[in-house]
C-alpha cells in the first residue's frame, strides 16, 4: 500500500524532477521565445504583408512595384553590382590569402593585420573617401591622374555602376579574405608537401591541390561577399544615388520615408525579394557547403611549407603594397585629411586651409554628442545582452545534449544572414503597436535589431573557445569538491574570458557605427552616430562627417590593438 | 635507388640550432632510421633531404646530384623522392586511384601506363579493391597504405618515411612494420625512416642513427647500437639499462656504493659508470659475479621483473619467468653478469636512476 509519508517516496531528487522543469529547458524556451517574438514573427509578418496588403491575397503590390522601371533597374543594379563585387572580391581575396599564408611575401604579418582590420571599418567610410578621390570633376585622384598622363578629361567617374562595384569590392573583399585565410590555415600543410614531393611545382600544387581543397570555402566566401554587397546601404546611398543608380536597399528606404501605407507596402514587397535571395544564399553556404568542407587536421603542427617567390618576390610584394595603398591607406588618409580641411576644393596643405574646427565640433555639438551617447548605449546593451545569450547558448550547444539546443542556434544564424534593411523594416511593421507591443521610436527597438543582426559573431567566438576546452577540466574541478557553479567560476570562465571579451567587442563595434537599421529605426530622440554621420555627409558638411568617420576609425583600430594586447594576440578582429 | 651523402649539415631557425654538424652516408638500398626523442632534429633532417627546408650550412647529395648546398638548391618536386607523412596527407578530394596516380601524372606518363603502374602498386599494398574509394571511406591503416603506394608508385630513388606508424593502433603498427620492411626488400629502394620508437628502429633498419639535441650520438647496426652503445644517452634511449657509478683500476671496475667488483680490461680509468642491461643479469646458485638481496619481483608471464639490492643501490633484473617460483622477497641471491658496458662518468646524473 502506498503511504503518503516522505520515507517511502522515491528519492528527493526524483521529486524535484517532477516538480521543476530542467533549467536548461527554461533557458532555451526564453531564448526561443525572444527570437520568435522579435525575429521570426516580424519576418513572417513582412512576407504576409507583401501578399495580403489589402487584407486578402493579392499580387497587386508586386505588380505595381516590379513594373515600375526605377524599381526594376534597382533590382538589376543590386544583382549586377553584388555579382561583380563577388567575382572581383574572390579574385582579390584568394591570391592575397595564398600569398600571405603560403609564400615568402615581404611584410606578410602587416598585410594580414591590415586586410583583416578593414573588415571592421564601416563601409560608408570607403564611399566617403572614394567620392572625394574619383569625383568626375574635382576628385583628387582624377586630377592627379589627369596631370600625370596629360588627359583631357577625368579618367574615372565614381557615380557609375563601375564606381559602385569598385567601392563595394574594396570594402567587402575582406569578408572573403578572412574566410579563405582561415580555411587555408586549417589545411594540413603536408597535403601540399605531398604534392611537391610527387613532382608538382608550387603553381601546379596550387592548381591541383590547394585550390580544389579550398573550393567549398571559396564558394562560401563568394556567397558571403555577394549577400553583403547586395544588402549594403551605406555605399550605394552615398555613391549610387547621386548618379541615379538605385539599389533595392536605397529604394526600400525611400519608400519607407514616403511614410504612406502604400509606401510601406512597396518597401515590404522589395524587402521580400532581398530576403529570399539572402535565405537562398544562407541555405547554400551553411547547410550544403558546410557539409562539404574537408576536415584536414594535421597530426603534427608543422609550419606550412613556404613557397619561395624567387625573382618575383620583390615585384609581387610591390604589387601588394600598391593594392594596400590604393584600397586601404589612401582612402583612410583622404577621410582623415578631409576632416581638417576648410575648403575641400583646395589642397589641404595650402595657406590657411587647415583647421581643427570640425574636430572641435564633433566633441561639442549637442546633437552629435547625444547621438554618440545613444549609439554607445545601444551598442553596449546589444553587446551585453547578446553575449549573455551567446554564453548560455554556447554552453548548451557544446556541453549538453539537450534536445532543441540547435533551434536557437539555427534562428540566430538565420537572423545574422538576413539583410539589415529587412530586419529593421520587419520590426517597424510588427512592433508599432499593431500586435500589442509598441517599441517603435525607442532605443529598445534599436538594441533588438542590433542583437538579431550581430549576435552570431559573439556566439561563434564563445562556441569555438568552449569547444577547445576539454570537459574533463570541469569534471576535475567537480571531483575535487567544487559545485557545478563553482567549477564554472573557477575553471571554465577564466579560460573562456578572452573569448567573451572578444565576442563582446565583435558585437559592440558594428552596432556602434551601424547605419542601415538606424536609418529606418531612428526617431528624433534616438538618432545614432551612424545616422548622424550620414546626414552630415549627405546634407550638411562633409568635413564634420569625415571627422566623425576618422574618430570611428581610431576607435576601431584602437580596440583591435587593445584586444590583441590583452589576449596575447589570440583574439583580434 | 642511390646513395645519400650528408656533409657538415647545420640547421638553425633564427638563433635556435636544431642540427649540428650532421655527417652521414647512406648506401644504395640501405634502410636507415633516424632515431631520437621528439625535438631532437630528426624530422628537420628528413625535411632537408626532401627539400622542404634549406640547410643553414652544408651539402646534401642524392645519387650523383648535389641537391642542396650554398650554391645550388633543387626543389622537392625535382628530387625524385617518395615520402610518407605522419598525417598521411592523402588528398580528400581525390579517390585512392587519383591519389596514387598523381606522381605519374606529374611525370606526364600516358593513361594506360598510369593505370598499369597504379594497379601494380595497389596490389603491393593490398588496396586493389579500394581504388575507387575516397579517403574518408578508408580506415587509418588503409589511408596509410594509400600514402605508401603514392610514395612508391613513381619508383623513386629514395623513400622518406616520417613517423608513418605513430597514428596507428598497436596491432596494426606491428604488422605494418613488417610490411614496410618486406616492400623495401622487394624493391631494393633506399629508405630513410624517422621515428622515436626504438622497436621500429630495431626491427626494420640496416643502420640506425641515434640523434639527441641536434647531435648524432651513434651510427650503427641495431645490434651494435644495442650491445655497444656509444654513450649513456644511447644506452638509455635504446632498451633498458641499469647505471652504476664505479671506479676503474687494475683490470676491475669497483662499484662505489657496494664495493662489488667486475673484471674489466677496457681503456677507461678512474670514475666511470657501468651499464648493465636487466636481461643480461641471471640468477645462479654458485659463483655469482654479484651478490644481492631480492627486494621485489613481478611475474609478467614472459619474464620475471625483479628489483635487487646489491648493497646501497637497487638494480633491475629481468629474469626468465620460472625464476619467480624459486625466489622470495628478502632472500639473498647471486647474479651472473653476461654483458655490460662502461662509460666515462660525465657527472650527469640524469641516467643514474633505476629504470622502471
- Cβ proximity of A94 and A180 under 8 Å: yes
How close is the nearest chain A Cα to the Cα of B331, in Å? 43
User: So what's the pLDDT on residue B46?
Assistant: 92
Closest residue in A to B101 (Cα–Cα)? A198
- Cβ proximity of A464 and A399 under 8 Å: no
What is d(CA A444, CA A526) in angstroms, rounded to the nearest whole number?
A: 10
* Mean pLDDT, residues B312-316 taken together: 88
Angle ∠(B81,B82,B84) on CA atoms, nearest 5: 140
CA-wise closest residue to B35 among B176, B178, B222: B222
User: So what's the pLDDT on residue A88?
Assistant: 94
* Mean pLDDT, residues B157-181 taken together: 84
Looking at residue B28, the DSSP 8-state letter turns out to be T
Tell me whether A309 touches chain B (CB under 8 Å): no
CB contact under 8 Å between B50 and A193, yes or no, is yes
Contact residues on chain B for A196, CB-CB shorter than 8 A:
51-52, 75-77
pLDDT tens digits for range A219-238: 888 888 898 898 888 889 88
Closest partner CB to B92 (pick from A208, A296, A299): A296
- Concatenated DSSP letters of B198-243: HHHHHHH-SEEEEEETTEEEEEE-HHHHHHS-SSHHHHHHSS--EE
Phi, psi of A22 (to 5 degrees): -60, 125
CA-wise closest residue to A184 among A265, A258, A99, A75: A99
- Cβ proximity of B240 and B278 under 8 Å: yes
Phi, psi of A419 (to 5 degrees): -60, 145
- Cβ proximity of B222 and B33 under 8 Å: no
Q: What is the pTM of this model?
A: 0.80
Please list the alpha-helical segments (H only) found in chain B.
42-50, 96-106, 111-124, 140-152, 170-187, 198-204, 222-227, 232-237, 323-326
What is d(CA B49, CA B55) in angstroms, rounded to the nearest whole number?
A: 9
CA dihedral A369, A374, A377, A380 (to 10 degrees): -100
CB contact under 8 Å between B154 and A212, yes or no, is no
What is d(CA A278, CA A509) in angstroms, rounded to the nearest whole number?
A: 23
What is d(CA A547, CA A566) in angstroms, rounded to the nearest whole number?
A: 28
User: So what's the pLDDT on residue A304?
Assistant: 66
User: So what's the pLDDT on residue B276?
Assistant: 93
User: So what's the pLDDT on residue B101?
Assistant: 92
Looking at residue A469, the DSSP 8-state letter turns out to be S
Angle ∠(A171,A174,A178) on CA atoms, nearest 5: 165
Joined grid coordinates for residue A103: 609564400
Q: Please tell me whether residue B167 adopts helix, strand or coil conformation.
A: coil
Contact residues on chain B for A301, CB-CB shorter than 8 A:
none
CB contact under 8 Å between A213 and B91, yes or no, is yes
User: So what's the pLDDT on residue A303?
Assistant: 62
Looking at residue A39, the DSSP 8-state letter turns out to be I
CA-wise closest residue to A516 among A535, A530, A526, A536: A530
Phi, psi of B273 (to 5 degrees): -120, 130
Q: How confident is the model at residue B88 (pLDDT cuts 50, 70, 90)?
A: confident
Phi, psi of B11 (to 5 degrees): -135, 130
User: So what's the pLDDT on residue A5?
Assistant: 44
Q: Which residues of B touch A (CB under 8 A)?
A: 50-52, 75-83, 85-87, 89-93, 102-103, 106-107, 147, 150-151, 154, 160, 163, 166-167
Q: What are the b/e assignments for A382-416, b being 16+ CB within 10 Å?
A: bbebbbebbbbbbbbbbbeeeeebeebbebbbbbb
Joined grid coordinates for residue B18: 636544431
Which residue positions in chain A have pLDDT lower than 70? 1-22, 287-305, 345-348, 568-573
Contact residues on chain B for A200, CB-CB shorter than 8 A:
77, 102, 106
Length of chain B: 356
Tell me whether A200 touches chain B (CB under 8 Å): yes
Q: How confident is the model at residue B193 (pLDDT cuts 50, 70, 90)?
A: very high
What is d(CA B339, CA B320) in angstroms, rounded to the nearest whole number?
A: 16
What is d(CA A196, CA B81) in angstroms, rounded to the nearest whole number?
A: 10
Helix, strand, coil proportions of chain A in percent (round to 5)?
Answer: 75, 0, 25
pLDDT tens digits for range B272-287: 999 999 999 999 988 8
Q: List Cβ neighbours of A77 (8 Å cut-off, separation of 6 or more).
A: A161, A164, A236, A240, A245, A246, A247
What is d(CA A545, CA A558) in angstroms, rounded to the nearest whole number?
A: 20
Tell me whether A208 touches chain B (CB under 8 Å): yes
What is d(CA B39, CA B321) in angstroms, rounded to the nearest whole number?
A: 37
Handedness of CA A134, A137, A143, A147 (dihedral sign): positive
pLDDT tens digits for range A13-47: 444 444 455 677 777 888 888 888 888 888 888 88
Q: How far is CA B160 from the centre of its chain?
A: 14
User: So what's the pLDDT on residue A378?
Assistant: 92
Helix A60-67, helix A261-282: angle, nearest 10: 90
- Cβ proximity of B315 and B295 under 8 Å: no
Amino acid at each position: 500500500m502506498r503511504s503518503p509519508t516522505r520515507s517511502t517516496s522515491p528519492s528527493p531528487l526524483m521529486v524535484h524532477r517532477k516538480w521543476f522543469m530542467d533549467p536548461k529547458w527554461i533557458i532555451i524556451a526564453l531564448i526561443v521565445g525572444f527570437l520568435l517574438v522579435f525575429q521570426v514573427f516580424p519576418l513572417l509578418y513582412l512576407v504576409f504583408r507583401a501578399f495580403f496588403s489589402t487584407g486578402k491575397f493579392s499580387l497587386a503590390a508586386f505588380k505595381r512595384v516590379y513594373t515600375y522601371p526605377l524599381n526594376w533597374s534597382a533590382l538589376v543594379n543590386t544583382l549586377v553590382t553584388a555579382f561583380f563585387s563577388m567575382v572581383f572580391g574572390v579574385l582579390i581575396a584568394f591570391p592575397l590569402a595564398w600569398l600571405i599564408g603560403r609564400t615568402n611575401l615581404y611584410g606578410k604579418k602587416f598585410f594580414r593585420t591590415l586586410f583583416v582590420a578593414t573588415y571592421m571599418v564601416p563601409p560608408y567610410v570607403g564611399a566617403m573617401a572614394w567620392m572625394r578621390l574619383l569625383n568626375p570633376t574635382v576628385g583628387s585622384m582624377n586630377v592627379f591622374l589627369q596631370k600625370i598622363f596629360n588627359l583631357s578629361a577625368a579618367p574615372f567617374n565614381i557615380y557609375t555602376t563601375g564606381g559602385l562595384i569598385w567601392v563595394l569590392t574594396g570594402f567587402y573583399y575582406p569578408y572573403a579574405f578572412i574566410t579563405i585565410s582561415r580555411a587555408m590555415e586549417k589545411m594540413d600543410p603536408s597535403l601540399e608537401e605531398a604534392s611537391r614531393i610527387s613532382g608538382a611545382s608550387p603553381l601546379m600544387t596550387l592548381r591541383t591541390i590547394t585550390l580544389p581543397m579550398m573550393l567549398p570555402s571559396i564558394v562560401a566566401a563568394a556567397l558571403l561577399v555577394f549577400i553583403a554587397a547586395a544588402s549594403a546601404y551605406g555605399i550605394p546611398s552615398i555613391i549610387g544615388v547621386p548618379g541615379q543608380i538605385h539599389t533595392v536597399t536605397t529604394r526600400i528606404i525611400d519608400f519607407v520615408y514616403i511614410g504612406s501605407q502604400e509606401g510601406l507596402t512597396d518597401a515590404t514587397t522589395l524587402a521580400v525579394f532581398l530576403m529570399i535571395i539572402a535565405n537562398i544564399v544562407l541555405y547554400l553556404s551553411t547547410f550544403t557547403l558546410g557539409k562539404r568542407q574537408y576536415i584536414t587536421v594535421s597530426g603534427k603542427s608543422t609550419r606550412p611549407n613556404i613557397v619561395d617567390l624567387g625573382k618575383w618576390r620583390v615585384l609581387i610584394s610591390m604589387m601588394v603594397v600598391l593594392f594596400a595603398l590604393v584600397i586601404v591607406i589612401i582612402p583612410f588618409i583622404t577621410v582623415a585629411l578631409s576632416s581638417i580641411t576648410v575648403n575641400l576644393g583646395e589642397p589641404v596643405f595650402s595657406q590657411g586651409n587647415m583647421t581643427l574646427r570640425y574636430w572641435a565640433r564633433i566633441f561639442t555639438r549637442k546633437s552629435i554628442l547625444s547621438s554618440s551617447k545613444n549609439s554607445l548605449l545601444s551598442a553596449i546593451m546589444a553587446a551585453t545582452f547578446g553575449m549573455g545569450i551567446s554564453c548560455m547558448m554556447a554552453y548548451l550547444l557544446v556541453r549538453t545534449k539537450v534536445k532543441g539546443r540547435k533551434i536557437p542556434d539555427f534562428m540566430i544564424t538565420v537572423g545574422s544572414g538576413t539583410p539589415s534593411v529587412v530586419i529593421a523594416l520587419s520590426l517597424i511593421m510588427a512592433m508599432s503597436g499593431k500586435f500589442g507591443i509598441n517599441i517603435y521610436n525607442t532605443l529598445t527597438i534599436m538594441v533588438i535589431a542590433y542583437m538579431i543582426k550581430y549576435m552570431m559573431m559573439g556566439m561563434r567566438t564563445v562556441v569555438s573557445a568552449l569547444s577547445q576546452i576539454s570537459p574533463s577540466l570541469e569534471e576535475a574541478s567537480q571531483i575535487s569538491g567544487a559545485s557545478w557553479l563553482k567549477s564554472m567560476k573557477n575553471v571554465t570562465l577564466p579560460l573562456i574570458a578572452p573569448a567573451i571579451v572578444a565576442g563582446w567587442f565583435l558585437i559592440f563595434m558594428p552596432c556602434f557605427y551601424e547605419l542601415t537599421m538606424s536609418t529606418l529605426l531612428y526617431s528624433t530622440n534616438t538618432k545614432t552616430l551612424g545616422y548622424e554621420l550620414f546626414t552630415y555627409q549627405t546634407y550638411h558638411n562633409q568635413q564634420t562627417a569625415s571627422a566623425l568617420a576618422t574618430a570611428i576609425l581610431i576607435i576601431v583600430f584602437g580596440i583591435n590593438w587593445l584586444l590583441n594586447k590583452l589576449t596575447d594576440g589570440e583574439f583580434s578582429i | 635507388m642511390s646513395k645519400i651523402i650528408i656533409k657538415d649539415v647545420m640547421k638553425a631557425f633564427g638563433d635556435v640550432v636544431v642540427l649540428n654538424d650532421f655527417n652521414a652516408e647512406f648506401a644504395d638500398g640501405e634502410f636507415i632510421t633516424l632515431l631520437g626523442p621528439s625535438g631532437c632534429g630528426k624530422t628537420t633532417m628528413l625535411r632537408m633531404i626532401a627539400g622542404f627546408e634549406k640547410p643553414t650550412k652544408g651539402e646534401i647529395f642524392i645519387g650523383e646530384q648535389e641537391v642542396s648546398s650554398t650554391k645550388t638548391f633543387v626543389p622537392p618536386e625535382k628530387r625524385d623522392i617518395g615520402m610518407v607523412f605522419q598525417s598521411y596527407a592523402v588528398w580528400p578530394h581525390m579517390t585512392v586511384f587519383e591519389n596514387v596516380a598523381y606522381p605519374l601524372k606529374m611525370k606526364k606518363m600516358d593513361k594506360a601506363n598510369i593505370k598499369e603502374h597504379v594497379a601494380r602498386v595497389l596490389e603491393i599494398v593490398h588496396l586493389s579493391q579500394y581504388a575507387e574509394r575516397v579517403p574518408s571511406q578508408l580506415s587509418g591503416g588503409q589511408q596509410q597504405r594509400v600514402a605508401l603506394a603514392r610514395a612508391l608508385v613513381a619508383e623513386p630513388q629514395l623513400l622518406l618515411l616520417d613517423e608513418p606508424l605513430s597514428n596507428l593502433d598497436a596491432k596494426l603498427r606491428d604488422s605494418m612494420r613488417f610490411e614496410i620492411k618486406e616492400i623495401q626488400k622487394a624493391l631494393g629502394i633506399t629508405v630513410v625512416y624517422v621515428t622515436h620508437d626504438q622497436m621500429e628502429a630495431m626491427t626494420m633498419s640496416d643502420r640506425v642513427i641515434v640523434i639527441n639535441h641536434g647531435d648524432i650520438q651513434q651510427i650503427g647496426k641495431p645490434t651494435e647500437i644495442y650491445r655497444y652503445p656509444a654513450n649513456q644517452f644511447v644506452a638509455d634511449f635504446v632498451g633498458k639499462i641499469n647505471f652504476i657509478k664505479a671506479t676503474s683500476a687494475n683490470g676491475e671496475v669497483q662499484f662505489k656504493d657496494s664495493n662489488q667488483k667486475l673484471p674489466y680490461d677496457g681503456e677507461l680509468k678512474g670514475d666511470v659508470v657501468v651499464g648493465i642491461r636487466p636481461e643480461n643479469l641471471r640468477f645462479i646458485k654458485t659463483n655469482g659475479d654479484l651478490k644481492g638481496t631480492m627486494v621485489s619481483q613481478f611475474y609478467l608471464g614472459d619474464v620475471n621483473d625483479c628489483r635487487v639490492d646489491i648493497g646501497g643501490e637497487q638494480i633491475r633484473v629481468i629474469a626468465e619467468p620460472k625464476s619467480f617460483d624459486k625466489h622470495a622477497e628478502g632472500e639473498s641471491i647471486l647474479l651472473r653478469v653476461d654483458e655490460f658496458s662502461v662509460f666515462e662518468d660525465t657527472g650527469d646524473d640524469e641516467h643514474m636512476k633505476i629504470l622502471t
